[in-house]
Amino acid sequence: MRPDAVRLMTAHRSKGLEWRLVVVAGVQEGLWPDLRRRGSLLEADRIGRDGLAEPLTPGALLSEERRLFYVAATRARERLVVTAVKAPADDGDQPSRFLTELGVEPKDITGRPRRPLSVAALVAELRATTVDPRASDTLREAAARRLARLAALSDSDGRPLVPSAHPYRWWGMYEPTASEIPLRDRDKPVVLSGSALDQLANTCALQWFLGREVKADAPATAAQGFGNVVHVLADEVASGRTPADLAVLMERLDSVWDALAFDAPWKSAQEKEHARVALERFLQWHVMDRASRTPVASEHGFDVTLEAGPYEVRVRGSMDRVEQDAENRAYVVDFKTGKQSPTAAEVARHPQLAVYQLAVREGAADELFGGVRPEAGGAELVQLRQAAAKKNGGDAFPKVQAQEPLSGEWVGELLATAAGKVLDERFTPTAGQHCTHCAFRASCSARPEGRHVVE
Ligand code: SF4
């Protein structure tokens, strides 16, 4: 015997059956009657006993649809409810002509339903009711009982049908946990990179923690591959292993490009063209007079330990290019291949450039200057994907964004803030523009799409 339940079916399936109450939902013009020809690909509807029959004419199709609607509507013994939506604009959804043929004046219900008619919305409403201080005790208890009934439902294999109804899935009810093993040893310097500093101190510490420490970031994308290839070629030119010749660089590019996984061949071709333009700009920049600076190293690794307030911070990384300026100072260049660039104000306080300059101050470039510590003469970002302003040479040259030699205490403060967050394990989310490409949005309490995890 069938349990008490609502049966959902098509009008065709309802033939010969009857119920006390029948709801015929979504009786919209365009859907019912549906005057498109059926089985249009194989035309199975035309197969008859004596071969292929003529396709139904629109008139015959309309009669067929009307008969079907009649079948659906006459399944009700006591009560029939027919629903349709009516958009205010004439070109929006309109009720079917069959509705008027019923001979009953439709009842308009304006506005939206209190909640979507879905299981998820029902569970959400019941959960909210169980903790709503304005609801009576009886109502709250009734909501809890219904949740328990939903949570107990399972399919024939014993799998829960409505898992979200069970409190064990309500993540927000769990007490925060604390690890017994500290993330970092307080007695050792905190190891940070320039980009980590930016995330920790300026954008979002949670993003840093999940991406860098938990290593939950998405796998490397082709965009990162693009950057790596261009960096390697720039290094080869700077170190003299490859001549500063676009044809040679393009040959080198050809030999590795196909190893980058792009979503489609057209995307690969498009990006390769961008890579060509980036390399061309790099060459223009490489051979031009850069305020009489001369290159002294490329891909120069460094590892220095700095004092930052009460902390010691060990900064490791690699400088794309170190140059010597006319005053014998060290100037650091960082090549970028991203589509966005920071604003002038952001460059003035760009943590990565500042860390390079600090590192120079602490001896990172000594060996390149004959063992004598050079002063830091500034640093710059060379945006290879972006054209310089017209007055700086236009399209053929890259956009260059320079940072003055460091002054003031701001970098030290930045380092101390970042180190403090790591040691105290304060990884609170800070929403902003950087959320756009964040892989953790769906589980982040600072974002609407992730709030369900904690609420
Ligand atoms: S979504 Fe935004 S706030 Fe949340 S972790 Fe990512 S960057 Fe931080």
DSSP 205-228: HHHHIIIIIS--SPPPPHHHHHHH
Average pLDDT estimate for 277-298: 90
Same domain for 136 and 62: no
Q: Does 381 reside within a domain?
A: yes
Q: Does 426 reside within a domain?
A: no
Q: Does 1 reside within a domain?
A: no
Q: Which two tokens stand for residue 359?
A: 């590192």
Q: Which residue has the tokens 């938990």?
A: 214
Same domain for 309 and 164: no
Q: Which run of H or E residues covers position 265?
A: helix 265-287
Structural domain of residue 97, as residue ranges?
A: 12-101
Same domain for 386 and 241: yes
Q: Rank 48-62, 139-153, 195-209, 411-425 by mean pLDDT and report only the highest.
A: 139-153
pLDDT given at position 38: 63
Same domain for 265 and 162: no
Same domain for 376 and 299: yes
Cα 260 to middle of ligand 1, angstroms: 28
Q: Please determine, for residue 222, whether its predicted confidence score (pLDDT) is greater than 70.
A: no
Q: Does 409 reside within a domain?
A: yes
CA-441 nearest atom, ligand 1: 1
Per-chain mean pLDDT for the chain: 89
Please report the beta strands in 150-214, taking only residues with DSSP state E, as ranges in sequence order: 190-192
Distance, CA of 299 to CA of 235 (rounded, Å): 7
Looking up residue 38, the CATH number of its domain turns out to be 3.30.160.800
Distance, CA of 150 to CA of 118 (rounded, Å): 13
Q: Does 452 reside within a domain?
A: no
Average pLDDT estimate for 429-444: 90
pLDDT given at position 454: 66
What residue's CA is closest to ligand 1, atom 2? 435
Same domain for 153 and 55: no
Residue type, 75: R
pLDDT given at position 402: 95
pLDDT given at position 278: 92
Instruction: Give residue-wise pLDDT tens across range 234-247.
Output: 888 888 888 888 89
Q: Of 101, 132, 162, which residue is a domain's last? A: 101
Q: Which candidate, 179, 172, 124, 131, places its Cα nearest to that of 150? A: 124
Q: Does 420 reside within a domain?
A: no
- Burial per residue of 155-171, b for 16 or more beta-carbon CB atoms within 10 angstroms, e otherwise: eeeeeeebebbeeeeee
pLDDT-derived band at 265, boundaries 50, 70, 90: confident
Same domain for 61 and 134: no
Looking up residue 406, the CATH number of its domain turns out to be 3.90.320.10
Residue type, 31: L
Q: Which run of H or E residues covers position 332?
A: strand 330-336
CA-205 nearest atom, ligand 1: 8
Instruction: Give residue-wise pLDDT tens across range 374-413.
Output: 999 999 999 999 998 988 888 889 999 999 998 888 888 9
pLDDT-derived band at 90, boundaries 50, 70, 90: confident
Cα 317 to middle of ligand 1, angstroms: 25
pLDDT-derived band at 95, boundaries 50, 70, 90: very high
Same domain for 355 and 231: yes
Same domain for 314 and 400: yes
Neighbours of 373 (CB within 10 A): 14
Same domain for 290 and 249: yes
Task: List own/partner pairs for 184-189 with CB under 8 A and 24 or more apart.
Answer: 184/422, 184/423, 186/423, 188/312, 189/305, 189/311, 189/312, 189/313, 189/314
Task: Choose which residue among 208, 435, 437, 451 to substitute to test ligand 1 binding: the one with the highest number of ligand atoms within 8 A of its C-beta.
Answer: 435
pLDDT given at position 148: 96
Q: Please determine, for residue 335, whether its predicted confidence score (pLDDT) is greater than 70.
A: yes
Instruction: Give residue-wise pLDDT tens across range 142-168.
Output: 999 999 999 999 999 999 999 999 998
Residue type, 194: G
Distance, CA of 452 to CA of 455 (rounded, Å): 5
Neighbours of 330 (CB within 10 A): 30
Distance, CA of 230 to CA of 276 (rounded, Å): 9
Q: Does 347 reside within a domain?
A: yes
Same domain for 144 and 32: no
Q: Of 74, 101, 128, which residue is a domain's last? A: 101
Q: What is the CB < 6 Å shell around ligand 1? A: 204, 206-207, 429-431, 434-435, 438, 440-441, 444, 446-447
Q: Does 434 reside within a domain?
A: no
Neighbours of 32 (CB within 10 A): 22
Distance, CA of 310 to CA of 399 (rounded, Å): 38
Same domain for 342 and 377: yes
The answer for residues whose C-beta is within 8 angstroms of residue 87's C-beta and 6 or more apart is: 93, 94
Average pLDDT estimate for 369-378: 93
pLDDT given at position 89: 86
The residue length of the chain stands at 455
Q: How many domains does the chain have?
A: 3
- Report whether 351 contacts 306 (CB < 8 A): no
Task: Choose which residue among 421, 447, 449, 454 to substitute to test ligand 1 binding: the one with the highest number of ligand atoms within 8 A of its C-beta.
Answer: 447
Beta strand 311-324 with 190-192 is parallel
